[in-house]
Structure 1
């Protein structure tokens, strides 16, 4: 049995301190299962399975992603999202441009608004990235998956721009989740390639290549760029005909 995909989610609020782990495993090329474990963090976890029978990889991916979505909707997040330490803004100059952005981000994590005007959180995150405010990193990690699609997109953009290396696990989850739209998965992969180096970067490139169709991987291995152009030209023509 080989683990294809795995995620570990946490819920930490008041006296509640729980963990939920999900595994997508390959039994053989045509048989996959989705298992889970849950319980109090640090204690022995209870185990279960969402697949009493073997299923296809496509079906297993769907089950995995839906289970992760269900838990995230209940307030579970990745370890870095839950336990990242937020900075103190006591000595912050709230009249400065950076101060206003950081204060708005702090407000967003607390669900309040200290300003006369309201800004969408996605706009604040985007502005923090454009202004290269490194101190915004922990707030962005907290807020990335807490809002709408635009907030997630802005967060991934900011993670890439600010090179927030702690976000690797979160980006990996986004890039491999079919519950997110393809353009968000693409920018998450791009962010992973941007913020990582060395052996970790090589691992991500390998994963990306494995996700491509077999004929594309073969053409890349052989350096056959004419075949690549032909493949994508045919795909484009087919899509164009479907839209006409």
Structure 2
């Protein structure tokens, strides 16, 4: 497989806390890579460094063979990397359709609020995008009236509107009802794979990780503790004890 993103020797500290302490990681083109680990392990910091919101104190990041450290977030988006946040970044006073259209307009260049937003080409593309995410029936609804699952889908649809090759998602199921989680991620996985978008996602739900990740990277104290296929990583005794919270019992059976 081809390496799409490569991080080498990333280091950053906040006071005495080492959020990244020599991170080396390759993201392969076309894969779904899950990042798991306890709170404060440096997972979101990695996303922030990759997308230009933070600059590491040491190390390098290359995307498609080109260095991207020092680029502003907007430039990184233009290069083909998009992200979603733990809290959906929607224009809550606008409809779902208008949110999608705003993302498309931003992608295509400067947009004046004096120009019609839902003009022909943009409206058609926005409706097609929402249809792919199963959101077209909600197109006329204000974003602040959506449940959390639909808000997450709408937020990620706006990121996909930017036509990225790599999408980084910070806890895409955070706040989503347990009964909705799998359906939300199934929709995300289907759309992203159909669009040939490589995905990196921070996730705390191990059922989601086991079902949708091609590889899992385990973060701990700013380092990668384990990296590999889900069945291998999620059954590692140290990962089960320190990250998932399952303590192996003396008789060989796991105890929570």
TM-score by length of 1: 0.33
Larger relative helix fraction: 1
Indicate the structure (1 or 2) with the bigger Cα radius of gyration: 1
TM-score by length of 2: 0.32
Larger relative strand fraction: 2
